[in-house]
Structure 1
Amino acid sequence: MKAVNITFQFQDGQPAQTHVAAEGESVLDVALNNGIQLQHNCGGVCGCSTCHVYVLQGEDELPEISDKEEDFIDRAVNPRINSRLGCQCVVQASTQDLVILIPPQEFLGH
Structure 2
Amino acid sequence: MKAVNITFKFSDGQPEQTHVAAEGESVLDVALNNGIQLQHNCGGVCGCSTCHVYVLQGGDELPEISDKEEDFIDRAVNPRLNSRLACQCVVQTTSENLVIEVPPQDFLGH
TM-score, reference length from structure 1 = 0.99
Task: Provide closer, same or farther for how the CA distance between residues 22 and 109 of structure 1 changes in structure 2, counting only shifts above 3 A.
Answer: same
Superposition misfits of 4+ residues, deviation over 3 angstroms: none
- Residue 85 of structure 1 corresponds to which residue in structure 2? 85
* Structure 2 counterpart of 1:58: 58
Q: Any stretches of 5+ residues in structure 1 without a counterpart?
A: none
**Structure 2 unmatched runs, 5+:** none
1:107 and 2:88 equivalent? no
Deviation at 1:101, TM superposition (A): 0.1
**TM-score, normalised relative to structure 2:** 0.99
- Counterparts of residues 13-32 of structure 1 (less than 5 Å): 13-32=13-32
Residue 71 of structure 2 aligns to a residue whose secondary structure is: helix
CA distance in 2, matches of 1:107, 1:13: 16
8 A contact 1:10–1:104 mirrored in 2? yes
Amino acid at match of 1:61: E
Distance 1:19 1:106 in 2: 23
> 1:28 touches 1:87 (CA, 8 Å); kept in 2?
yes
Secondary structure, counterpart of 1:73 in structure 2? helix
Contact 1:41–1:109 at 8 Å: present in 2 too?
Answer: no
Shift in CA distance, 19/105, structure 1 to aligned 2, threshold 3 Å = same
Cα distance in 2 for residues equivalent to 1:79 and 1:31:
20
Q: Say whether the 8 Å CA contact 2:5–2:18 is kept in structure 1.
A: yes
SS of 1:38's equivalent in the other structure is: coil
SS in 2 for 1:28: helix
